[in-house]
Amino acid sequence: MKSSALLDYYRTHACSRQWRGFLLALCEEFDSALPDAELSRLMARIGERFGRDHALPAVATLDELQQAANAVWSSTEWGQVVFEEAPEQVRIHHAASPLSAVLGARAGWDTGFLEGVYRQWFRAAGMMSVLDVRYLQSDHPDVATYTLSRVF
């Protein structure tokens, strides 16, 4: 089986059938009612709520924060994350979100949600107020990339 066929199979099964139709209908309604920027903000607020409801334990290192985040993602079947420390920023690479598998690259849906979750988790971990989490364009449909960096 070709790797593209395997990925298509994964995408088809990443979200349970009971939710697929509902999410697609919800997406169509929100897409028709809200501009992309508002939809992204709404999904980020929903993500922040999720982050508060799934609070991470206090940790001392970025690696421990990544492990705690992945424990939540594993328990909810929402993929996995890798935090990559770089000068003046942390790159956040989230793979295998069920929303991206169902909805594809629709503006703001999974990217806004995950941006809000990571913003909340980093705030709770002590992120300075001059820092924020922002989505970066991604070349891969199954990996969303964010940056935690200074806000200008």
Q: Which of 18-32, 45-59, 86-100, 121-135 has the lowest mean pLDDT?
A: 18-32
CATH class of segment(s) 3-150:
alpha beta
9 — pLDDT class (breaks 50, 70, 90): low
Q: Within 10 Å of residue 35's Cβ, how many Cβ atoms?
A: 11
Closest CA to 42 of 129, 102, 110: 110
Query: pTM for the complete prediction?
Result: 0.88
- What residue type is 29 in one-letter code? E
Q: Within 10 Å of residue 139's Cβ, how many Cβ atoms?
A: 6
Q: Which of 9-13, 15-19, 90-94, 142-146 has the lowest mean pLDDT?
A: 9-13
Q: How many residues does the chain have?
A: 152
Query: pLDDT by residue (tens digit) across 97-126?
Result: 888 777 766 656 778 999 999 999 999 999
Q: Is there a contact between 14 and 102 (Cβ–Cβ < 8 Å)?
A: yes
Domain ranges in the chain? 3-150
